[in-house]
Each structure stands twice: as C-alpha cells, then as structure tokens.
Structure 1
Amino acid sequence: MRATTKIAALSAASALALTLSACGNDDTESTIDDAQTTAGDTMSEATDTMGDMMGGGDGVTTVDDVFGSACDAIPQDSADQGSLDGMVDDPVATAASNNPLLSTLATAVTEADLVDTLNDTDAEYTVFAPYNPAFEALGQETLDAVLADQEQLTDILTYHVVGERLDRDGILDGGTLDTVQGGTLEVTGSGDDIQVNGATVLCGNIPTANATVFVIDTVMMPE
C-alpha cells in the first residue's frame, strides 16, 4: 500500500515537472519570437530611415543618380549655373533657364507666366523637360503660334509636370502619372531606357531645389 502511494506520488511529481518544463519552453519560445519580431521591426525602421537619408523613396536625387545619353551635353564645369552641380540649388524654372539644352522651354515657361509657380519651393514637382530640338521639330510657325497663345501654352507645359517629386523608380512604379494639367502620362521601359508617352528620356534624375527633371526628346501634346 505504501509502495503504491509512493509510486503515485512520484508519477504526479514527474507529470508536474513535465508540465512546468513545457510551460517554460512555451514562455521561452514566445520571448524569443517577441524579440525577433522587435528586432525585425527595428531593422525595418532603420532601413527606412537610412533610405530617407540617402534620398530613397522621396524622389530626391543627387548628381550621382543622373542617367542618360544626353547628360554629357550639360555643362560639366561645376561653377557653371547650367551644370548639374549648378542646378541643384535652384528651383526648377531658374535651373532650366540656366541649362543650354532647355533655353526654349525656359522661354515658354516665361511666356506662360509659370515661373513663380514652378519656382515655388513649398511645392515639389517632377518635370519632363523637352530639349530645344523637340521644340524646333514643331516648326517655327507652329512654335510661334503656341508661344503667342498663353492658354494653350499653359495647357501644354503643365502636361509635362507632375505634382509630386519622383525619381526614375518612382515614375516607373505605377506606369501612369497624373499631371498638373489634369491628363495622364504613360511611362514604359526600364533602366536607362525609358519612354514617357513615347518620348525618350535623354537625361533623367536631374536634381533641382524643388523638382526632379527628366529631359525628353519630344514636346508632348495633351488630348
């Protein structure tokens, strides 16, 4: 009888020990899982913060991010206001006016009375900027007529402007972009080979004080 009682007591003690051990393992695993989750969240936050510090995710670029075959045509002397280094600190209308590739565009912006709007440093833009030969391709008669019609000119120019700042990845991400004019642009391609409504990006990711600029080879016409 005593032996039976002792065996029963030992069995109960063993069962209790196993139960406590199992509970301890669950608590330990839960603690490890919580720690891993916290560490993962912290790493993700750190990555996001680092990305923001490096300009990733906000459309802000640096001269090191610029790409495209026509970038070599931009003045290389960093002291030149029309160079990439010179454009960085100027708002986009001023930056375009200093760039020899964009002198006709700068004239058009002035004629449309959009200088102050585009130079607003409280706003951010993505600008698809036709270079001079793109305007020349319209023909002098057509170009003169467009420059003389402020309403039509404003419609055309604002069709080249997106009301948020995007880099190359940003414009490729959605495939379509809403313009300030109200129409949409279709972006296709990848890497350094990008088209916007069929216009080829000749030099992209150009940084200015309030915009990221993509020089294109065609004046895009809104419907």
Structure 2
Amino acid sequence: MKSRTSKTIGVVASAAAIALSVPLAVTAHAEPTTPVAEIPDPQGPECGAFKEALPNWKSLANLPVSSALASIPQISTFNSAISGGLNPAVDITGVLDNGPYVVFAPTNEAFAALPPEQLEVLRTDPAVLTSLVYYHAFLGLLGPDDVKGQRPTQEGTEVEVTGSGGDIAVNETTKVECGGITAQNARIYIIDQVLNPADAPAPITPEQTTSTETPSTETTETSETPAPTTPLPAESAPTPTPAAEAP
C-alpha cells in the first residue's frame, strides 16, 4: 500500500516538475483603445475660483449641459431659473440638453444685483423669465477663441460677443469670468451680469444692391456725347462763280 502511494506521489511530482520546466505560451491580444480627447482648460480671470469650488470640473464634459450647470456652485440661481426652481412654469433644461449650445450663465451675485421688483417679476411672470433665460443661449459649440461675433439667441434677438481667450465681453459691458467650460453638448461661460434682451444689438443685415442701377457718371457721359454729323452730299456744295472775261 505504501509502495503504491509513493509511486502515485512520485508521478504527480514528476508531472509538476515537467510543467514548471516548460515555459508557458501566452498569446497576448491587444485591446482596442479609444483615444481620449483632451478637455481644454477654461479661460478667464475667475477660472481659479471655479476650479477650486469644483475640483472635478473635467467630469462636466461627460454630463448634459443641464446637469453640468446644476453642478457649478457659483451659478445656482441661474440653474434654478432654467429648471423650474425660480418659477415652476419655466423649465428649459430639456431644450438645452438637445444642444449644441453656448450658454451664458450669470453668477449668483449678478442675480442678487438685480432690483427687487425685477426679481419679483421673474418669479411671477413665466413669459418674462422664459424670454430672459432663452436670451442666454445660442446654437453652437464654440470655445473662447472662436465665440466672438454677433449671433441670434434662442430668445430671437441677438447677442454680441467680443474679445477672445480670457478677455471676453458680451454686449460690451458684461464680462466673462470663466469661459469655455466643457459640457457634453455645450460650452458654458460664467458671466458677471444678467443679460437683458432689451439691450440686444441691432441685427446685422447684409447690404443689398440691384442690377438695374446705373451709375450717375455713365448717364452724364452719355448725355454729353455729341450726335454724329452727316456729311453734305457733293451736289449740294456751292458752285464757284466763273471769273468775268477780259474785253
């Protein structure tokens, strides 16, 4: 019995030794990798405060804009205005999530600076609030170096953006504190004032010319050109009188 057990153990040990002495053939299969797009840094004088308040700001790139806006502490009043918190009859988050959009988000301080009676109108008049929040968005997906220009907003009137990078103004007097914050379907610009549709710039209309217009110089030249003269026929020319004969 001991002999049989010893033989069995010996066989197992021999097999284990052989297995250890033979290098294992490992076939490596490379997993396909998806390149990860670099999330650009937002730009503006207050971007340091934005990043400090939201250390995981890069994760906003994976969120629809309504969720991204709700995640930024400095603009909680604006988020309330677009999501039914300020006025239950006004919730445009579904619209914004169907972007792409550029969204101008006023700070909490910007809303606090509004006259109390204006804030009360926003709380009680859905039409006024709807007009206001739609004026803060226009179609596009533009970063700080490309956002400049005059564009129609979702409210219908236009907004004018000047400057680039970390020095951007909206309608001349409103400053971008931190702009180009990346959301899944939008670029967010935190601004220091609430935009007013009543201050919208006049729309830009292309100049139109008609093909029937004739420059005045051409008309003058035509009227001053003398009419062509027709030469007299030979027979109508005067006949010379013969000289008198001498006597």
Q: Distance in 1 between matches of 2:80 and 2:165?
A: 31
Q: Distance in 2 between matches of 1:157 and 1:178?
A: 14
Using CA pairs below 8 Å that are at least 6 residues apart, which structure has the higher relative contact order?
1
The aligned counterpart of 1:203 is 178
The aligned counterpart of 1:154 is 130
* CA gap 1:167/1:190 in 2 versus in 1, 3 angstroms: closer
Tell me if 1:117 matches 2:91: no
Q: Distance in 2 between matches of 1:77 and 1:140?
A: 28
**Superposition pairs of residues 84-123 of structure 1, within 5 angstroms:** 84-111=57-84, 112-120=90-98, 123=99
Per-residue deviation, 1:166: 1.3
For 2:146, what is the secondary structure of its paired residue? helix
Per-residue deviation, 1:86: 3.0
Question: Aligned letter for 1:134?
Answer: A
Q: Distance in 2 between matches of 1:95 and 1:148?
A: 26
Contact 2:121 2:128 in 1 (8 A): no
Bigger radius of gyration among the two? 2
The aligned counterpart of 2:16 is none
Question: Aligned letter for 1:210?
Answer: N
**Superposition pairs of residues 34-53 of structure 1, within 5 angstroms:** none
Q: Distance in 2 between matches of 1:107 and 1:75?
A: 21
Structure with the largest fraction of helix = 1
Where does the alignment leave 5 or more consecutive residues of structure 1 unmatched?
1-52, 56-60
TM-score normalised according to structure 2 size? 0.59
Aligned length: 158
Where does the alignment leave 5 or more consecutive residues of structure 2 unmatched?
1-34, 85-89, 199-247
The aligned counterpart of 1:168 is 144
> Percentage identity across aligned positions?
35
Question: Aligned letter for 1:104?
Answer: T
Per-residue deviation, 1:54: 9.6
Question: Aligned letter for 2:78?
Answer: L
Per-residue deviation, 1:212: 0.4
Per-residue deviation, 1:189: 2.4
Deviations 1:145-172 (A, max 9, x none): 2122111111011111011211122212
Per-residue deviation, 1:209: 0.7
Q: Distance in 2 between matches of 1:76 and 1:117?
A: 30
TM-score normalised according to structure 1 size? 0.65
